[in-house]
Amino acid sequence: MQLVPLSERQLAAFADKHAWQIPFDTSPRHLAGPGDACHVTHGLAAAGWSPVSDPLGAEIVLASPGLRYRLQFDPQSATSAWWRLRAEPDGTEPGWYAEFGERVPAEVLAGFTDALIVLPPQQPDPWQPVTSAGWHHDSSGTARSPDSMCHVQLRPLSEFHDRSSWHIETREPGHGEFSGPRIWHAYLDENTPAHLVGAFLTALADRSPLQRGMFERIGHYSAVQEPSPLRPQQVVDAHTARIKSLRAQARSARRQQTTPATPPAAPAPRSRPLAAEPTGPLTISPDHHTHRDSLRHLDHYVRDSQKILDAWDAYSDEHTDLDGWPHDDHAYGMRKSQRDADTAEAFEPLRYGARHLLATAETQLTRLPENTVQSRWVYQLGVLHTALDRLDELHEQWLLTRDALPATAEPGTADFDDALAEHHAESWSYLDDWATHGKALREINTAARKAPSPLIPTPALAPARRTATRK
């Protein structure tokens, strides 16, 4: 998925909302109130996360590129957890879950989600941010804020969990040994990466105030509000600068991520052509050469399209301003057309085996043990199906357009090249879907090879040996 800046409309909506609001410095942070959820959603959108929920519904669901992470905001939740973040297992990394209450300050939650975008640092000591901020940390695994209204607890191991989980709560003042009503909470399960825990606690314990409107804090407890030296436009500018920084960091992190190595050698010549594209339900083909060749073409396409996209991102970063606008529209458009054409060319060897791979993966998926299936696979196969159908339609349209061109329109002429560039531009997003989600086909195939399958007959037991006697 291409990383793009937020639209001008979205940033303008944030500016309009805050332009009339005289900012007040509000502290401590755990009593500042929820604030503006755009601190969270704008940051993720700038890193390529996209909405996958009903645009007319109250619930918002954002999915990360690759679909490993999903953030759900549900203000109609029957529980106090309005924010839920899930991470699917990925290779050797386990899945994890975190949830946050309705009144968690958005800037504190954004500290957590921003840390998902950048490359993780070396595992820090999650306790260090709160102890450095003067919170009391006792030997029982609990840290309390100076006003004792917020506490962080690392709950110990149990028979149900082999690692400790994190529980953060802010409560109203109680009476004696009894705590007051809960204001907000956060729960980070035992598999949540330590650097994410540290990022959340760093944002929570930060002594710098948060900007809120007058009386926007939670209740009248120990929160302090003073007129901020910042003007409304400065608050908006700081938000915009953060979004630009996150966009750049997301690009950098994606480029530095290692990808599984694929053999650089070209496919060996085949003694038979690829099988015709299937038009109906297909079981796993007995022709293992065809399937192996198609998987190899898939690997090459995922690798090559990533290189093409990385080169495009590097060009885009260098030739656009901080808002994403190109310095030279014509040169930028020509370079973008080259990206589209290169991606289409890289896809051609895969095109004729794509439906075979999809049908095979669907068959494999129905026969895999339930505990080996990742929930995102069904969605990803649907995306690949839709993209391939649309690519076929666009290909047919291109053939009609090509045949309707004047006889003088040949490759290298403006008429032909402009029409082909338009076709490539229309096809690019669907080719990008295959670059983003195509690895699911390889993952399903790997899982099918490792799992016992009814497609492979169980070998008969060898008869017991008998001791032969010489005659």
Using only C-alpha atoms, the chain has a radius of gyration, in whole angstroms, of 28
**In this structure, what token pair is assigned to residue 369?**
């043990």
3-state secondary structure of 197: helix
* 311 burial type by CB count under 10 A (0-12 exposed, 13-18 middle, 19+ buried): middle
Largest CA distance in the chain: 109
In the block, residue with structure tokens 């885009």 = 316
Q: Around Cβ 334, how many Cβ atoms within 10 Å?
A: 11
State the residue for tokens 């492979």: 456
pLDDT at 259 (0 to 100): 39
Determine the 3-state secondary structure of 15 from DSSP. Answer: helix
Structure tokens at 412: 């290298």
For the chain, list residues with pLDDT below 70.
1-8, 119, 121-124, 157-163, 175-178, 217, 219-222, 254-288, 322-324, 452-471
How far, in Å, CA of 353 to CA of 163, rounded? Answer: 44
Q: Which pairs from 213-216 meet CB under 8 Å and 24+ separation?
A: 213/21, 213/22, 213/23, 213/24, 214/22, 214/24, 216/24, 216/26, 216/33, 216/35
DSSP 146: T
Distances (CA, A) of 183 to 34, 324, 354: 11, 40, 52
Element (H, E) at 72: strand 69-73
Is-contact 440 377, C-beta < 8 A?
yes
What is the β-pairing status of strands 96-101 and 182-188?
Answer: antiparallel
Query: Which of 299, 297, 293 lies closest to 259, judged by CA?
Result: 299
The answer to whether the CB of 85 falls within 8 A of the CB of 69 is yes
- The pair of three-digit structure tokens given for residue 118, joined into one six-digit string: 């950048």
Cβ–Cβ contacts within 10 Å for residue 236, how many? 18
Q: Where are the beta strands (DSSP E) in 78-141?
A: 81-87, 96-101, 136-137
Structure tokens at 92: 């050797």
> Do residues 211 and 217 touch, judged by C-beta distance below 8 A?
no
The candidate with the shortest Cα–Cα distance to 349, out of 383, 285, 298, is 298
**What pLDDT does residue 272 have?**
31
Going across the sheet that includes 150-155, the strands are 50-51, 60-63, 69-73, 81-87, 96-101, 182-188, 165-171, 150-155, 142-144, 136-137
Please, are residues 3 and 47 in contact by the beta-carbon 8 Å criterion? yes
Tally Cβ neighbours within 10 Å of residue 27: 19
| Cα 23 from Cα 425, distance rounded (Å) | 45
Torsion of CA 280, 283, 287, 288, to 10 degrees: 130
Helix (H) or strand (E) holding 73: strand 69-73
Q: What is the pLDDT of residue 329?
A: 86
Report the distance separating Cα 367 and Cα 139, nearest Å.
Answer: 50
189 token code pair: 């399960």
**Residues sharing a CB contact under 8 Å with residue 210, sequence separation 6 or more, in sequence order:** 25, 26, 27, 29, 32, 35, 105, 107
Q: Is residue 352 within a helix (H) or strand (E), and if so which, with residue range?
A: helix 329-367
Instruction: Kindly provide the residue ranges of all beta strands, DSSP E only, lying in 189-291, ordered along the sequence.
Output: 210-212, 224-227
Question: Do 23 and 235 form a contact (C-beta atoms < 8 A)?
Answer: yes
C-alpha–C-alpha distance, residues 70 and 95, integer Å? 12
Per residue in 381-433, pLDDT (tens digit) is 989 999 999 999 999 898 889 888 888 888 888 889 999 999 999 999 999 99
User: Any bridge partners for residue 445, and if so which?
Assistant: none
Q: Which residues of 150-175 are buried (b: 16+ CB within 10 A; e: fewer)?
A: bbbbbeeeeeeeeeebbebbbbeeee
Report the pLDDT value the prediction gives residue 202, as an integer from 0 to 100: 93
Sort 10 into a burial class: Cβ within 10 Å, 0-12 / 13-18 / 19+: middle
What is the pTM assigned to this prediction? 0.62
